[in-house]
Structure 1
Amino acid sequence: MWIGWLEFDLLLGDVRSLKQKRSAVRPVIAELQRRFAVSAAETGSQDLHRRANIGMAAVAADRGHVVDLLDAAERLVAARPEMELLSVRRGLRRSTDD
């Protein structure tokens, strides 16, 4: 079994409140979950209205499938015009790794 994850650090555009931030972040999380059948959530910077951290994780039997899925998810988030992708941290492990 292969486990892969991404951590996105995002700078949000014209957001002036935490309510507007939620309106920008929730659709991204929902689209990741819908398109890729992954687990995704806001994982940090919750008190900052212009910054967001989103984490996502995927599990599959094939390493190549997980890598392709992570690549596609990163492209999807990077293409969002309402936010700037500042950085992405990526992890990939096999369940038998110590």
Structure 2
Amino acid sequence: MMWVGFAEFDVLLGDVHSLKGKRSVIRPVLADVRRKFDVSVAEVEHQDLHRRAGIGVGLVGADRQHLVEVLDAVERFVAARPELELLSVRRRIVTSED
């Protein structure tokens, strides 16, 4: 059985005054998450707002517990970033049989 997990992070950015400034904050976060956790990650919401971002993270695996652990670790990592304020997280884990 295949497990699919994803999380959507709604974040508020600190001292950012333009979309260009937003990109300079979000791109390194996305790259760090991708490199550190080997997951798919992208800015998925609020692309037109300069102080807000939606970050989506997804992964596939054979073990539900592994997905839970990785998503927990990604959430802690995003929450610990000083340039971001984590407003909310939505998470879902489903099987290929759902």
TM over 0.5: yes
Aligned-partner Cα distance in 1 for 2:71–2:79: 12
Unaligned segments of structure 1, at least 5 residues: none
Following superposition, the deviation at residue 31 of structure 1 comes to: 1.0
RMSD: 0.6
State the 4+ residue runs in structure 1 displaced beyond 4 angstroms.
none
| TM-score, length-scaled by structure 1 | 0.97
Percent identical: 64
Determine the structure 2 residue equivalent to 1:5: 6
1:54-82 Cα shifts (integer Å, max 9, x gaps): 10101111011000000000000000011
- Show structure 2 runs of 5+ residues with no match: none
SS in 1 for 2:48: coil
Distance in structure 2 (CA, Å) of the matches to 1:6 and 1:26: 18
TM-score, with structure 2 as normaliser: 0.97
Deviation at 1:96, TM superposition (A): 1.0
For residue 36 of structure 1, report the CA deviation from its aligned partner: 1.0
